[in-house]
Structure 1
Amino acid sequence: MSLLGVPLLVGTIVLTIAVTAASVWLGGRLRGSAPSQAVRRAGLALACQVCAVLTVAVVVNDQFEFYATWDDLVGSDSAAGSFASLTPHDQHGLRTAAGLTFAPYGEDGVRVVHYTGPRTHIGADVYVWLPPQYGLPAYRHTRFPAIELLPGYPGPVHNWFTMLDVTGLLRHEMARGEAEPAILVAPTMEVVPGLDTDCTDIPGGPAAETWAAEDVRDMVTANFRARRDGAGWAAMGYSEGGFCAVKLAVQHPRQYAAAVSLSGYFTPTAPAVTRSPGLLRANDLLQVLTRSRPPVSLLVMGTRQDADTAADVTRLRDVVRAPTTVASSVLPSGGHNYGVWGTMLSPALRWVSHELSDPRRARS
């Protein structure tokens, strides 16, 4: 059942009205001792409050699209379940020469595998999309650039393909000659349910940064014809994922040439990071970029209505020095949601494709 859209929203509103009306009607007809009536009235009031909170939660989720299904909310993964029973040719599952089987996800060629990283021992889903050219004879010896897609928190990484239709937009830009074919890679970043890591290696906890920058990257290059050189990789993210994308490029300039932040920020906000002054300092990108100048290209985008993102764009531009380069775009309107990020995505794909195809960058 979908957690987005009119049916659930209307249903929760109707339920709240009905429970409130019933509580008022029953409250005037309670019989028994005073303590007994007080307890029952408290129960009715609690039922009204629960329904009101539920309605607010549904409205907020519908606006910001944090969770699309019950599986997203509870952290289960039906795609991973179907993966376990696949044979190499079942349901168009893809088995690679390295021995991993990728199950189909959706109808646009996206595939998913539950992968355990050898360095971090993190086990999580990774989604991969191969461009149409990948299977053509003319490209059989071609290694393709890769774009690593990072999600906001909370919310599942596959929203890149469902809410944002990144594959459809990239196909469109390729057809117009505005973008080159690229492999899209979207790793799960909420690797421990309910724990926000800001894509950071947490002492005593999950090594989320190493998972994204090394385990996932190595898995892709081992299983697909993805470029292995850093000039062939970029990271892109929305909201917290924007922070993560810039962080990967800035902290790992040998592995990434460019990064795109859609309404991201550049100072950690996750309690798992901010509670440690040393960890905060090491991962505050505004501080890091005052101390180092990695040879990477950044595109940072925000909106004036989403004022914090616009302010962070300015802060980042103020600290960046060559050879780091930064391009920026601040839209006049728009909030912090998928509609805005969808508007930003096409120009972001064109920009990142240009960076990955720049002949001045080394290839291997």
Structure 2
Amino acid sequence: MTDLMSLSLIDGLLPVAILTLGAAALILLGIAGRKLGVRRVLIFVLVAAGSTGLLFLLAEVIFLWWNSSFPRLLYLYWALGILGIQLAFALAVRRRTPLAGRVAGIAAALIVLLAVACTVNLAYAQYPTVRSLVNPPSATDDPLPRPAAVDATLPAASERTWVPPSDMPGEGRVYRAEIPAAASKYKSATALIYLPPAYLADPGAVNLPVLVLIHGQPGSPNDWLISGRIAEMMDDFASRHAGLAPVVVMPDASNDSNPNWPLCMDTSVSASATYLARDLPAWIQQQLGVGTAGPQQWAVAGYSYGGTCAVQLAANFPDAYPTFVDISGENEPTDSEGHQALLDTYFGGDGKAFAEQNAVDRFGRMPFPGLAGKIVVGREDTVYGPEGRQVYEAARAAGVDVQLQELPGGHSWLVWRAGLENNLDWLGARLGILDP
């Protein structure tokens, strides 16, 4: 069972087998469908094409459920799935179809749907393994442990100075927490907090650094836990560095599922920037006793919407986040209905108010010599890739110590997870855990 649970859903034999079976099932349904007559099968094809066109219209013209980064090939798979369902249903209700044929047709339709789901997962790598789908990791509701010490004068633990106790846990833990909004009054859903083995040791490491991770849209902090496998990633890092790793805080960036998601800016919708850059650090320092040695212990990172947020926060609050990782972010916050709609919704139509907080505009107005970051783009990401390069050029011109990294893949977790994991050693050095 363990080997089955660890099977990959994004590469290897299992997805190949699912897609092969799906194709075979659709072919068999097509062959059996000859009994229905050419005219009826043609109608099914037209219905499949029409429903696909309707989905496109609803999703990309009327309701704007997703943007142009959505893989267009998935529409074809949707059409094939609809065709398979129609054929299976028509064969199942046909009087002359024997019971075994009806069961086989329904089974074939289910296999086709499984293959369609597999293509979606391959596009985004949302569920990397069988375990992540059927038994995903979850956070504990246990109370957060009290810190070893809350004293900003104590030297921060580092690989050079930290000596782990013999009974230090082998793994970190992920906790749920409600992080209040004392200054911003921001409405937030539950956050997730990863505490590394060194923090959980007795006595624990003193004053570890903090990495704030922002999720995408749509999404939640759980995406970092399930699709990003953040606990596994940080445990692997800690195992190489005497149990040391940053405390990872994954806040809710949706304003508790506000229909108008905040932009990691302070707007008429919510003061999300103040929440993320002021309320959150203050609470983390007080409650967990980490990140108290200074801004050099703090970093922010994110993917897609969260990557845009990471740059926004670093450019507007370099005293809070002098280190950032932008993975597949945009060149500026956007609204699905256009830039003017964004200005109207968030800034009362005031373009200058937007530009005052927009990272690329800020990079054009002032230097940022103390800021350092990584901008990661997917090689096949034709939408966010060019925008990430624009952010890189603007940041470099502003004196930011920035590096552009290109990884194989599109707008998916294949890039988002690797974009963080590949930069953990750099983050560890920036944050003071590792020697620079």
Same fold (TM over 0.5): yes
Q: 1:285: which partner in 2?
A: 359
Aligned pairs, number: 305
1:312 aligns with 2:377: no
RMSD of Structure 2 on Structure 1 (CA):
4.1
**Are the equivalent residues in 1 in contact too, given 2:212–2:299 (CA < 8 A)?**
yes
**Are the equivalent residues in 1 in contact too, given 2:209–2:247 (CA < 8 A)?**
yes
Cα distance in 1 between the residues matched to 2:243 and 2:311: 21
TM-aligned CA deviation for residue 264 of structure 1? 1.3
Q: 1:265: which partner in 2?
A: 330
**Percent identical:** 22
Partner amino acid, structure 2, of 1:196: W
TM-aligned CA deviation for residue 24 of structure 1? 9.9
Unaligned runs of 5+ in 1: 27-54, 69-78, 84-91, 98-106
Partner amino acid, structure 2, of 1:238: Y
Partner amino acid, structure 2, of 1:329: Q
1:210 aligns with 2:274: yes
**Which of residues 207, 215, 218 is equivalent to 1:154?**
218
Q: 1:299: which partner in 2?
A: 374
**Which of residues 412, 416, 422 is equivalent to 1:347?**
422
Q: 1:168: which partner in 2?
A: 232
CA 1:58–1:169: 2 relative to 1, 3 Å: closer
Q: 2:252: which partner in 1?
A: 188
Cα distance in 2 between the residues matched to 1:260 and 1:173: 17
Cα distance in 2 between the residues matched to 1:65 and 1:359: 31
**Are the equivalent residues in 2 in contact too, given 1:257–1:356 (CA < 8 A)?**
no
Cα distance in 2 between the residues matched to 1:184 and 1:253: 19
Cα distance in 2 between the residues matched to 1:23 and 1:279: 58
Cα distance in 1 between the residues matched to 2:87 and 2:356: 51
SS in 2 for 1:300: strand
TM-aligned CA deviation for residue 58 of structure 1? 9.2
CA 1:22–1:316: 2 relative to 1, 3 Å: closer
SS in 1 for 2:414: helix
Partner amino acid, structure 2, of 1:325: D
Q: 1:42: which partner in 2?
A: none
Q: 2:187: which partner in 1?
A: 122
Partner amino acid, structure 1, of 2:236: H
Cα distance in 2 between the residues matched to 1:347 and 1:241: 18
What are the within-5 Å matches in structure 2 for residues 45-60 of structure 1? 60=120
Q: 1:100: which partner in 2?
A: none
CA 1:360–1:110: 2 relative to 1, 3 Å: closer
**Are the equivalent residues in 2 in contact too, given 1:179–1:353 (CA < 8 A)?**
no
Quick check: 191-200 or 345-354, which moved more?
Answer: 191-200
Cα distance in 1 between the residues matched to 2:242 and 2:386: 30
Cα distance in 1 between the residues matched to 2:262 and 2:127: 19
CA 1:16–1:315: 2 relative to 1, 3 Å: same
Q: Whose radius of gyration is greater, 1 or 2?
A: 2
1:329 aligns with 2:405: yes
CA 1:318–1:63: 2 relative to 1, 3 Å: closer
1:198 aligns with 2:248: no
1:249 aligns with 2:323: no
Q: Deviations over 1:290-339 (max 9, x none)?
A: 112232101101022113333234323322346421112112x3111112
**Which of residues 218, 221, 230 is equivalent to 2:295?**
230
CA 1:66–1:173: 2 relative to 1, 3 Å: closer
**Which of residues 143, 165, 173 is equivalent to 1:93?**
143
Cα distance in 1 between the residues matched to 2:255 and 2:357: 19
SS in 2 for 1:264: coil
Cα distance in 2 between the residues matched to 1:180 and 1:166: 15
SS in 2 for 1:94: coil
**Are the equivalent residues in 1 in contact too, given 2:172–2:200 (CA < 8 A)?**
no
CA 1:337–1:237: 2 relative to 1, 3 Å: same
**Are the equivalent residues in 2 in contact too, given 1:267–1:284 (CA < 8 A)?**
yes
TM-aligned CA deviation for residue 201 of structure 1? 2.1
Cα distance in 1 between the residues matched to 2:207 and 2:201: 13
TM-aligned CA deviation for residue 146 of structure 1? 0.1
More strand by share: 1
CA 1:274–1:21: 2 relative to 1, 3 Å: farther
**TM-score normalised per structure 2:** 0.59
